[in-house]
Amino acid sequence: MSGTFVGMPAFPEAARDAVGNPTLRGNLRHATHTIRAKRDRAVAELADWAQLREAGRRIKDHTLRHLDRYLEQLEASVTAAGGTVHWAADAEEANRIVTRLVKETGESEVVKVKSMATQEIGLNEALEAAGVRAYETDLAELIVQLGHDRPSHILVPAIHRNRGEIRDIFTREMGSWGRPAPEGLTDRPADLAEAARVHLREKFLRAKVGVSGANFMVAETGTLVVVESEGNGRMCLTLPETLISVVGIEKIVPTWRDLEVFLQTLPRSSTAERMNPYTSTWTGTTDEDGPRAFHLVLLDNGRTDTLADQVGRQALRCIRCSACLNVCPVYERAGGHAYGSVYPGPIGAILTPQLRGTASEIDASLPYASSLCGACYEACPVAIDIPEVLVHLRERVVQGGPAVRRGNKVVLRPAKGHAAERAAMRAAGWAFAHPGALRTGQRLASRSRRLHPRTLPGPGRAWTGSRDLPAVPAEPFRDWWQRTRGGKDAK
């Protein structure tokens, strides 16, 4: 994944800073609560939502089970339709391929459709290093790019910004990227959108190369699909002479018919719309219409390894709707940056440690970035049991165990820093297997209860920093039960 996030602190520290930032808290709270309520309404409208969700889960599971076959079918159909297919095992290879393809056109700039895959591989940075400027054209991505910022949400990458901040960024930065913002720009949404429109128009009309991802790839016809709200994506998909699409291998669906399910569940889950304003589909190249050259870069970058994991593979069903982020109480308070990856929120917490592994501090901390409240699972339109995968990855962090890395079976070692916890868990396990020992502990706690402080030093401060401890009762229940014969005798 992108080098932009290397050296991130572990989630708890990053989240602590975010929690202490009132502007950020306010922006996120407002945005997530608004979209949450809208999504609830959009989903409640459909009487067959549960069936659609189940159908989406099945289509994805089926495709993943036969991914090898569908990938070959896709390659054949894209090629037959005049496109060229490239295979990229990892981010580096994908960046190399795209950079070469751009260089071969002789161009030094590209326009981009909003895409998670190209963010994941850090394509903009790789192109920049090769002397190619990549212009983001999605409004929110533009805000992030102009602000020298990082995305903090899958769908609304600038969710952490409010209107005033956006106006300031436009006024300050647009001039050095192209057409400057108009004098006296206000923070009215219509004015901000107009400033972006005028700024971007210049780039659309000039660009010879477009770069995109895709929401879906249809194996039977080789058709790619991009779902969006603004129409800027369609500009990039149709105006340039060359189109390069970088797409994760899990984005395949077998047939056009399968789209029927996702084109209902995706917009309702992401923007709470019945239908998104623009759905662009293209199949290879067409004479006299749209790009003359089309390249599809199929990206693995940890996906095959993820597929090998029985519990974790369900993360590959994800259609990047971001409903799980919007309902997540942890995301709402920690913000997207704390997750140290382009995939924030609950899906990021299960996807990143699988795509990148759990070796770094931030990646090993992600499976714990959840209270396991289950709101994400409930909202997910492809029924990814995110809490189940989180717990599974916690197990991997503390116990190690078998996994697949770059196609090879490996046995992972437990992450550092869990020895004390492991010992405590084993000790607790022993005490719970010996009720006598448990009882001794309980009685000791009860007898010494007047000595218990309300706040604790050391690691205990993590609890008592914000919460008082409960008072320990005079006797545990089991002693009362025995003493009074289940309450039959006097109290």
Partner 1 sequence: MRVALFLTCVNDTLYPDTGRAVVRLLTRLGVEVDFPMGQTCCGQAHYNTGYRHEAEPLARRFAEVFGGYDAVVTPSASCGAMVRELYPRMGERARAEGRGDSLARTVAPVVAKTYELTEFLVDVVGVTDVGAWYPHRVTYHPTCHGLRALGLGDRPRRLLEAVRGLELVELPGAEECCGFGGTFAVKNAAVSAAMGADKVRNAGSTGAEVLCAGDNSCLMHIGGTLSRLGADMRPVHIAEILASTEEEPAL
Closer Cβ to ligand SF4, 75 or 138, answer by number = 138
The one among 93, 395, 404, 410 contacting partner 1 by CB under 8 A? 395
CB of 468 to partner 1, least distance (A): 4
Closer residue to partner 1, CB minimum distance, 148 or 485: 485
Which residues inside 363-382 make contact with partner 1, applying CB under 8 A? Answer: 367-375, 377-378
Among 333, 217, 266, 299, CA closest to 49: 266
Tell me which residue has tokens 């007047």: 450
114 binding ligand SF4? (CB under 6 A): no
Question: If you ran DSSP here, which 8-state letter would residue 472 be given?
Answer: P
Q: Cα separation of 141 and 438, whole Å?
A: 56
328 scored as a contact of ligand SF4 (CB under 6 A): no
Burial of 489 (0-12, 13-18, 19+ CB in 10 A): exposed
Using alpha carbons, list the distances in angstroms from residue 231 to 140, 184, 225, 228, 277. Answer: 13, 26, 13, 7, 8
Phi, psi of 242 (to 5 degrees): -120, 135
φ, ψ at 211 (rounded to 5°): -125, 130
Q: For residues 288 and 368, is the Cβ–Cβ distance under 8 A?
A: no
Contact region for ligand SF4 (CB under 6 A) — 140-148, 284-292, 380-388, 436-444? Answer: 380-388
List, in order, residues 6 or more apart from 53 with CB less than 8 Å away.
Answer: 265, 380, 381, 382, 383
Query: Residue 382 interacts with ligand SF4 (CB under 6 A)?
Result: yes
Q: How far is the CB of 325 from ligand SF4 (least distance, A)?
A: 7
Q: Does 319 bind ligand SF4 (CB under 6 A)?
A: yes
Classify the phi-psi angles of 7: left when phi > 0, otherwise alpha if psi is within -120 to 50, otherwise beta.
left
CA contacts within 13 A on the Cβ side of 388: 12
Say how far apart CA 100 and CA 97 lie, in whole Å.
Answer: 5
Distinct helix (H) and strand (E) counts, the chain: 23, 12
CB of 372 to partner 1, least distance (A): 6
For partner 1, give the closer residue by CB, 176 or 466.
466
- Cβ 394 to partner 1 shortest distance, Å: 3
Binding mask 261-290 for ligand SF4 (x = CB under 6 A): --------x---------------------
Applying CB under 8 A, does 37 fall inside the site for partner 1?
no
Q: Is 475 among the residues that bind partner 1 (CB under 8 A)?
A: yes
Binding mask 250-289 for partner 1 (x = CB under 8 A): ----------------------------------------
CA–CA distance, 51 with 37 (Å, rounded to integer): 22
Q: Does 476 bind partner 1 (CB under 8 A)?
A: yes
User: In which residue are the tokens 């592994």 written?
Assistant: 357
Phi then psi for residue 289, to 5 deg, are -145, 115
Q: One symbol per residue from 337 to 376: x for binding ligand SF4 (CB under 6 A), - otherwise; what is it?
A: ----------x-----------------------------
Which residues in 285-324 contact partner 1 (CB under 8 A)?
Answer: 310-311
Angle, vertex CA 490, rays to CA 486 and CA 491, nearest 5: 75
By CB under 8 A, residue 61 contacts partner 1: no
Q: How many residues in the shown chain lie near partner 1 by CB under 8 A?
A: 66
List contacts with ligand SF4 (CB under 6 A): 269, 318-324, 347, 379-382, 384
The binding site for partner 1 (CB under 8 A) comprises 11-12, 15-16, 19-20, 25, 310-311, 329-330, 333-334, 367-375, 377-378, 388, 391, 393-399, 421-422, 425-426, 428-429, 431-433, 435, 438, 442, 445, 459, 462-463, 465-470, 472-473, 475-478, 480-482, 486-487
